Structure 1
Amino acid sequence: MKRKRLAAVLAALTLAVGVSACQGNGPGATKDTGSDSGSAKTIKVYASGDTNIQDLWQKTLIPAYEKANPDVKVVLQFDLHGENSSQVIAKLAAATQQKKDPGIDLVEGVGKQAGQAGLLADPKPKVPNLANVDSKVVAAAGTNAIPYRGSSVLLAYNADKVTDPPKTLDELLAWIKAHPGKFAYNSPKTGGSGGAFVTTVLDKYVPADVREKMTTGYDKDLEKYWEPGWKTLAGLNPYVFQKGVYPNGNNGTIDLLSSGQIWMLPVWSDQFLSGQANGTIPKTAKIAQISNPTFTGGSTEVGVVKASSNQEPAFAMANWLLEPDQQKAIAEKIAGYPVISLDKLPAEVQEEFKDAKPDQLRPGYNSDHGNDINNLWDQKVPGH
């Protein structure tokens, strides 16, 4: 599967400005890529997501940055699936209130939430490369968050078993019931691909003007519109994998597809394409996008922590992430969409991603509504 295939799929989408991210597993899952954490030349990074994002930082971004800046060490605290991201936000909030250094300089994966909570420093004077990112993408990222890569959730399927994949959400729901046990999605709290499926089913019943309010702000009373969606999701229990087994994390469902136990699943575009490139996803698997509505997608952000006493090197690294070489590396390593203007990238990257633009991706809900979705899913779906 070539990345050009994804560009062709996405060319057909009619999507809005987006923000999304894989989420999921705690601050205890720390990986240090350097020492001397007390030095002003050390950048302490918190990042979250799945193993492909962990590899991106550990094997590509950090080594490249340290090679280009030999007087700087980068210490990475990686939170697998971001399951304890709320604890990190609470830690940053307490440090900001108490005016104490939180021990984190740069955050990734929770940039939007941290920005909404007023926990990030203003990047505009310090990150000149932000001018190369579409203004709509920057606006969607929220207060002081810096978009640095994009991705979308798509529908992956075993083409040997599925010759006519669903093209709309209604067709997908009908397909699941017609093929018991052959579809799976991970619990939304453990990964954004499952979260996108849940969000998209809920969206089926939410009026467009209400959804816009729930995307840009928080009003718990509006969550009443989700009730038909929760009933639909609970009604799928007898038809999903093993009559109601929901894997842990985005990779959990991918493993089921690769082993032939299921035929269809929602998947992050970057994980799918990088998985096919490294052989963990079979070549018989293909991807498509549904409509009415589409799955969600968008940018992932970094942000420099307002309470950090070590902001300057963190801003420098954030600016570096938006340089063409790093955007090219992200595209090559995880098939992440570049967020800077494509005309600043090599011709082959321009061709592969010409239709994969983060400003065209359908947004997820406000992060507070997103947290409510995670908790309500646990209450309303499994075992019902």
Structure 2
Amino acid sequence: MKTRVLAGVAIAAAASIALSGCVQSANASNDADEPAGSTSLTVFISGDTNVQDLWDKSLIPAFEKMHPKISVHTSIDLHGEHDAQTQANLATAVKANKTVAYDLVDAGFVTTAGKAGLMAKIDDSAIPNLAHVPAATKQQGGDRAIPYRASSVLLAYDTKKVTDPPKTLDDLMAWIKANPGQFAYNSPSSGGSGGAFVMTVLAKYLSEHEQTTMQTTYDKSLESKWDKGFAALKDLGPSTYQKGVYPNGNDQVLQMLGSGQIQMAPVWSDQFITAQKAGTIGKDVAFTQISDPSFTGSASYLGIPKTEPKAKKQAAEELADFVLSSKGQQLVAQAVSGYPVIPLSSLPSSVAEQFSKADPTKLRLGFQSEFAADMNAAWDAKVPQ
């Protein structure tokens, strides 16, 4: 079966970091060159340059202005290419009771590392603003992860052509069939917005227990429960863009929306809002969230390495507390269009209005990574014509 995927221009950036120096002896303090009474912190980032810019250009300057005795620097593993090695080195350090060369971690593996006991426990007494984060958001990450921004997949639509957008998944699927060629989603292996659409259709045919299992553990035998969902996706194919052409990646979907090639699509909240700010998506395109079930979303978390020395741990907690303050959350919203994880009522109206149509306190988790990888492969084999 030949897959019809809309070709795109891929721009690859290669980067590497030296991980050999990430573990250091507890006796060899990286505070050696600091002036008396001052503390230096390093934020380790596993992600893209936009996240590093968030720290370097927004969060750190504002924090240092308020805390002149604490200096903060960043170190990045671009696109998380070395996550497995980073986690292995962290595990080695914790087992040997040694420190590492960073003090706060901003990475997708924070929750996994936390549940493995590699991150320090966190609580409201050390990070007071954590008390303002919804309990459900904190529970998703566990007691060693600090939620600091969130995003979800939303349904974007052209308001000039769609006056009554779908409110549920059933409504959406009916709309797609009634408006052939006007809806698109990217192949799930090429981006999370398309992946969220596929997961949501599959979830429609799963029990609540089966959904929870697929979000938290791995039992390949449950994948037979996907058959009805994949059949529905295959049946939907002829009604999607050009009778079953699937864009290559989240960005291509946004480009198609922006150019008017389609009227509706699932999109990442942060990418959509950023695109509207940049003018690549017109103000006539709006977004909403569907229900029964909703599209998926999640928080991003910070972690403090378990072997962090006391003074640095306290400084890292101060930094995390600032990020969760009203000022810090405003900067996150402005720089990367991340959902605030504190109540919108505690933020200026301009920020609250930006996220008023999406509830960041209700994020439906996607499938666990092994299920997600299997889902992508199964979609490739079963859905495209």
TM-score, normalised relative to structure 1:
0.75
Contact 1:230/1:380 (8 A) holds in 2? yes
Contact 2:168/2:293 (8 A) holds in 1? yes
Q: Distance in 2 between matches of 1:85 and 1:171?
A: 40
1:221 match: 221
Alignment map for 1:198-277 (pairs within 5 Å): 198-237=198-237, 239-241=239-241, 243-248=244-249, 250-277=250-277
SS, match of residue 291 in structure 1: coil
2:7 match: none
2:15 match: 28
- Matched to 1:61, the amino acid is L
SS, match of residue 286 in structure 2: strand
Rg: which structure is higher? Answer: 2
The count of residues paired between Structure 1 and Structure 2 equals 348
Shift of 1:343: 5.1
TM-score, normalised relative to structure 2:
0.75
Shift of 1:212: 2.9
Identify if the C-alpha distance between structure 1 residues 320 and 332 changes in structure 2 by more than 3 Å, giving closer, same or farther.
Answer: same
Identify if the C-alpha distance between structure 1 residues 381 and 287 changes in structure 2 by more than 3 Å, giving closer, same or farther.
Answer: same
1:132 match: 132
Q: Distance in 2 between matches of 1:233 and 1:86?
A: 33
Q: Distance in 1 between matches of 2:138 and 2:361?
A: 9
Supply the RMSD in Å over aligned alpha carbons.
3.5
Identify if the C-alpha distance between structure 1 residues 61 and 277 changes in structure 2 by more than 3 Å, giving closer, same or farther.
Answer: same
Q: Distance in 1 between matches of 2:89 and 2:186?
A: 28
Q: Distance in 2 between matches of 1:191 and 1:52?
A: 17
1:293 match: 293
1:118 match: 117
- 96, 104, 107: which one pairs with 1:106? 104
Q: Distance in 2 between matches of 1:240 and 1:308?
A: 52
Identify if the C-alpha distance between structure 1 residues 200 and 89 changes in structure 2 by more than 3 Å, giving closer, same or farther.
Answer: farther
Q: Distance in 1 between matches of 2:247 and 2:46?
A: 25
Q: Distance in 2 between matches of 1:203 and 1:374?
A: 16
1:319 match: 321
SS, match of residue 197 in structure 2: helix
Q: Distance in 2 between matches of 1:149 and 1:140?
A: 13
Q: Deviations over 1:208-231 (max 9, x none)?
A: 232234334444433332232234
2:306 match: 306
Contact 2:119/2:304 (8 A) holds in 1? yes
Contact 2:56/2:74 (8 A) holds in 1? no
Q: Distance in 2 between matches of 1:274 and 1:186?
A: 19
Identify if the C-alpha distance between structure 1 residues 195 and 120 changes in structure 2 by more than 3 Å, giving closer, same or farther.
Answer: farther
Contact 2:214/2:371 (8 A) holds in 1? no
Shift of 1:137: 2.1
Alignment map for 1:341-356 (pairs within 5 Å): 341-342=343-344, 344-346=346-348, 349=351, 356=358
Shift of 1:266: 0.9
Identify if the C-alpha distance between structure 1 residues 141 and 26 changes in structure 2 by more than 3 Å, giving closer, same or farther.
Answer: farther
Contact 1:339/1:357 (8 A) holds in 2? no
For structure 2, the residue ranges without an aligned partner over 5 or more in a row are 1-11, 18-23, 32-39
Contact 1:298/1:359 (8 A) holds in 2? no
Q: Deviations over 1:88-132 (max 9, x none)?
A: 445544544465555443332413333233332112264232222
Shift of 1:178: 5.1
Shift of 1:302: 1.4
SS, match of residue 361 in structure 2: helix
Identify if the C-alpha distance between structure 1 residues 239 and 356 changes in structure 2 by more than 3 Å, giving closer, same or farther.
Answer: closer
Contact 2:185/2:265 (8 A) holds in 1? yes
Identity across matched positions, percent: 43
- Matched to 2:122, the amino acid is P
Identify if the C-alpha distance between structure 1 residues 254 and 224 changes in structure 2 by more than 3 Å, giving closer, same or farther.
Answer: same
Q: Deviations over 1:215-268 (max 9, x none)?
A: 3444443333223223433555555456443423x3332122223333322112
Contact 2:287/2:357 (8 A) holds in 1? no
Shift of 1:323: 1.6
Q: Which moved more, 1:63-72 or 1:120-129?
A: 63-72
Shift of 1:200: 0.6
2:57 match: 59
Alignment of 1:150 onto 2:150: yes
Identify if the C-alpha distance between structure 1 residues 178 and 346 changes in structure 2 by more than 3 Å, giving closer, same or farther.
Answer: closer
Identify if the C-alpha distance between structure 1 residues 187 and 84 changes in structure 2 by more than 3 Å, giving closer, same or farther.
Answer: farther
Contact 1:27/1:77 (8 A) holds in 2? no
Q: Distance in 1 between matches of 2:330 and 2:87?
A: 30
Contact 2:122/2:143 (8 A) holds in 1? no
Shift of 1:311: 4.2
Identify if the C-alpha distance between structure 1 residues 99 and 180 changes in structure 2 by more than 3 Å, giving closer, same or farther.
Answer: farther
SS, match of residue 273 in structure 2: helix
For structure 1, the residue ranges without an aligned partner over 5 or more in a row are 1-24, 31-36
- Matched to 2:192, the amino acid is G
2:4 match: none
Q: Distance in 2 between matches of 1:262 and 1:354?
A: 25
Q: Deviations over 1:126-151 (max 9, x none)?
A: 42322222223211222411111233
Q: Distance in 1 between matches of 2:333 and 2:107?
A: 17
2:141 match: 141
Identify if the C-alpha distance between structure 1 residues 130 and 170 changes in structure 2 by more than 3 Å, giving closer, same or farther.
Answer: same
